[in-house]
A and B are shown apart, each in its own frame.
Chain A
Amino acid sequence: MNCQEFIDLVSELACDRPLDASIEQDARRHTTVCDSCAQLLAAQRMLTARILEFAEATGNLHTSPQVKQRLRAEVTKRKIAQNASLGTSIRAAMGSVGRAIWPRWVVAAAISACLMVTTVWWWTSTTPVQEQLAGAQPPAAKEIPKTSPTVEPVAPATPHPQVVARQSPQHQPQRRTPKRNRPTVSEVEGEEFASAFVPLTLSMDEKAIENGTIVRLEVPRTKLIAMGLPLHVDGDQETVNAEVMLGDNGVAYAIRVVR
């Protein structure tokens, strides 16, 4: 080992840092033959001792307790702020979710829809078309002159609420059928079946139909469909039998299909 190599290693030697054993032996051997390098190592060792003394002397110095108090207060403050912001976030999230799910117009629309559905259901369940029309018939409906001798008038399934009191016991309401979108077929006499009456006008004039007449006609199926009657389009008959309820004033108030 020459002097330059020794100078490069003198710090590690002076600080007792781990070195390769062979290198360390070479360095120590060099100090025995080179006085200047030996003095350099001695000076470096002294420096190490001084530095350690300095480190020991200053090793117990700390910050003042106020620093820790201030920092701890900051931790506490942030904890409170975090909790507050967490609460705010939860409230905001809940509020936004609530707004997102239940905006006012949706609530209003939903309530309106529910009311409409309920009203329609109640109306259709309590006053079906056939019952309205049947109920609107006068109690002496059977006495109405028949234009067709083969057809008997059909007793109303459920009378109109307004005319229930006037009906005789034989006109007590029958059990309504569940489906309202198709004409209810009821057995008349023998093998004939008649659907429920379907109104042709928006309002019913009870006086006009008090002595009304039922007229049986053969009507093209397409015409009835065009009038809005719920018939099957793919029927095999071109014409169907229908009964039209005519008022005293000659207005056709309702129609039903007879089969």
Chain B
Amino acid sequence: MRKQLAHTLTRSFASLDDEELLRRMLIGEEEAFDVLYDRRERLVYQFALRMSGSTALAEDVTQDVFMALIRSGHLFDPARGTLTKYLLGMTRNRVLTLIERERSFVPLMAEEGDEEVSLAEKITLQADPLIELARAERVEAVRQAILALPWHYREVVVLCNLEEMSYEEAAGVIGCPVGTVRSRLNRARTLLVEKLKTSRGADKGTTSIA
């Protein structure tokens, strides 16, 4: 009975837009938080993950971003953009801050079992091990290539190609003109092609990325 009631509540909240959910969450309605989190958590987490390449960092960032939303959500101004843009802006700033901070630390020694499970291992399915292994390698190569891009190129690739945002939306998140996004994306894609060619050539001794 209680579960049914909670399910009904969640369904009714699901029809609300982000701003209304945020307003309700700020007055303490947990169901509103549930719906808002389920709706936007993937976006925040994956943007952080694709920008940083670290699941631990992405999880920390996601928690930080939503914690900030819970504590300071009243600072969000719908007139200045959507909640998605607001969340991605916060995520971008936090990822950048954490990456800059981690850059200043040099690990003394990696402990056994301390390293993260690689993305390739995470996405490997057991249906056809050879095919999945090849696929995982390709994915890992793209991941490495994206992570090797300079920050300002990386974010346009993540936003425009991985999150499939328009140039205008990406420009809103980054805070730059649309033309800049377009030119950065062109340059970033050219760099990615080159990096993937190089990695492929290093693996198989060819220059083709196909």
Interface residues of A (CB under 8 A from B): 7-8, 10-11, 14-15, 43-44, 46-48, 50-51, 53-55, 57-59, 61-64, 67-68, 70-72, 74-76, 78-79, 82-83
Do A11 and B66 have beta carbons less than 8 Å apart? no
Task: Count A-B pairs with CB separation below 8 Å.
Answer: 113
Do A63 and B138 have beta carbons less than 8 Å apart? no
Residues on A with beta carbons closer than 8 Å to the beta carbon of B196: 47, 50
Do B46 and A78 have beta carbons less than 8 Å apart? no
Do A67 and B33 have beta carbons less than 8 Å apart? no
Residues on A with beta carbons closer than 8 Å to the beta carbon of B85: none
Interface residues of B (CB under 8 A from A): 25, 27-30, 33-34, 37, 41-42, 45-46, 49-50, 55, 58-59, 62-63, 66-67, 70-71, 119, 122-123, 135-136, 138-139, 141-143, 146, 157, 160-162, 182, 185-186, 189, 192-193, 196-197, 209-210
A14–B188 Cα gap in the complex (Å)? 14
Shortest distance between the CB of B27 and any CB in chain A (Å): 7
Residues on B with beta carbons closer than 8 Å to the beta carbon of A75: 25, 28, 30, 33, 70
Residues on A with beta carbons closer than 8 Å to the beta carbon of B33: 71-72, 75
Do B63 and A70 have beta carbons less than 8 Å apart? yes
Do B49 and A61 have beta carbons less than 8 Å apart? yes
Residues on A with beta carbons closer than 8 Å to the beta carbon of B37: 68, 71-72
Q: Is the interface of B mostly helix, strand, loop or mixed?
A: helix
Do B63 and A50 have beta carbons less than 8 Å apart? no
Shortest distance between the CB of A84 and any CB in chain B (Å): 11
Query: Top 4 nearest A-B pairs by Cβ distance?
Result: A79-B28, A54-B142, A57-B123, A57-B139
Do A54 and B70 have beta carbons less than 8 Å apart? no
Do A63 and B62 have beta carbons less than 8 Å apart? yes
Do B142 and A53 have beta carbons less than 8 Å apart? yes
Shortest distance between the CB of B124 and any CB in chain A (Å): 9
A76–B27 Cα gap in the complex (Å)? 10
Do A44 and B189 have beta carbons less than 8 Å apart? yes
A11–B185 Cα gap in the complex (Å)? 8
